[in-house]
Homo-oligomer: A and B are copies of this chain.
Amino acid sequence: MQHQEPGGSQPAAETLAEVGEFSLIESVTRSLPASDNVLVGPGDDGAVVAFPHGSVVCSTDTLVEGIHFRRDWSVALDVGRKAVAVNVADLEAMGARATALVVGFSAPADLPAAWARSFSAGLRAECDRAGVALVGGDMTRARDITVAVTVLGDLEGRAPVLRSGARPGQLLAIRGRTGWAAAGLAVLSRGFRSPRAVVEAQRVPEVPYGAGADAARAGASAMIDISDGLLADVGHLARASGVCCDLSRDAFEIPEPLQAVAAATGIDPYTLILTGGEDHALVAAFDSHDVPGGWRVIGSVTERGEESGPMVLVDGAAWEGQSGFDHFGHPGS
């Protein structure tokens, strides 16, 4: 198939990789017209749409074979589970309860039907865990497997918890793990299958279902799903809120499996914890007396200093290590 566009694109034209995902999304969404029924538009973990009798939160996330999963590393059941988990995590981060989910599934014609059936069993298993109903889908052919999930959720009468609500003086707290999926990726990409706990974390994130709504009820004023890595995503929250977030390294114990991966690979375990993505923990900002049970304080919100300074600090200083693990070691998206 030719990929030449009618009218011709110059060979030296700027590519997606050069422009970067975030800058392109920004340029696309900046000029979106305002609409009365859009309560929260692009740029947060989910959108909030007004209906005549209430509002609905929705979010979409796509998993692509070779980028977000590999068939030789993950069985079909796990791919189905992961597709649900990463999407529900976005709704958790809005303080919503996920209720329904639709799936667009694209796959090559020679895919074993058993793979597709096992994948759908995984979808259903994780939907059950998350308390979400699988309500529809679409199936089409493609060269690579692509799974596009959209999840809908209910705020149960509460305001959505946005990224932009953090205020100086608050505490930052986490619910869930970080660094585990990145550690799993590190061992899998070296041809190993253990420690089993981190390999499993790479295959299916352990999302703290219900924790987002708990945080909202407890008074969280800002929240985000940690998908790209703790520093990167807390950076998004800090930027949206116009604050600085100062994380405390001592708040993070190195769990045993991460110690093992660090020892075997030479990767700094704090690099895993601070920059590893795909674990889908939640980080929220609370007033100090509001941090609910099960959440661990990992830092504080401070005034934004100079415009050019970093928005996320670790123990009061800019993080000097690697800035982000991307899917399968691609340069940060």
Contacts and interface: CB of A to CB of B under 8 A. Distances in A.
Given A56-B56, A58-B136, 18 more contacts: A1-B70, A2-B71, A4-B72, A5-B76, A6-B73, A9-B115, A15-B111, A27-B117, A28-B117, A28-B137, A32-B133, A51-B51, A58-B102, A62-B104, A64-B140, A64-B142, A146-B148, A148-B148
Interface stretch (A16-24, A172-180, A252-260, A266-274): A16-24
User: This chain: how many copies in the complex?
Assistant: 2
A38 interface: yes
Contacts of A134: 32, 42
Chain A: interface size category: 35 or more
Q: Which of A19, A27, A136 has the most CB of B within 10 A?
A: A136
Interface string A70-84: 111101100000000
Given A75-B5, A114-B14, A133 B24 contact: no
Contacts of A76: 5
A169 interface: no
B71 A102 contact: no
Contacts of A59: 102, 136
A21 B139 CA distance: 7
Given A1-B72, A115-B9, A32 B124 contact: yes
A149 to B, nearest CB: 8
Contact of A53 (B6, B53, B103, B333): B53
Contact of A152 (B46, B58, B117, B124): B58
B136 A330 contact: no
Nearest to A109: B17
A164 interface: no
A-B pairs with lowest CB-CB distance, top 10: A148-B148, A53-B54, A53-B53, A47-B135, A150-B150, A17-B109, A62-B104, A35-B133, A47-B136, A13-B112
Contacts of A156: 52
Contacts of A5: 71-72, 75-76, 112, 115
Contacts of A105: 62
Given A28-B117, A56-B56, A133-B37, A108 B142 contact: no
A28 B102 contact: no
A307 interface: no
A106 B58 contact: no
B133 A9 contact: no
Nearest to A99: B37
Nearest to A16: B111
A68 B150 contact: no
Interface in A104-126: 104-117, 120, 124
B60 A140 contact: no
A154 interface: yes
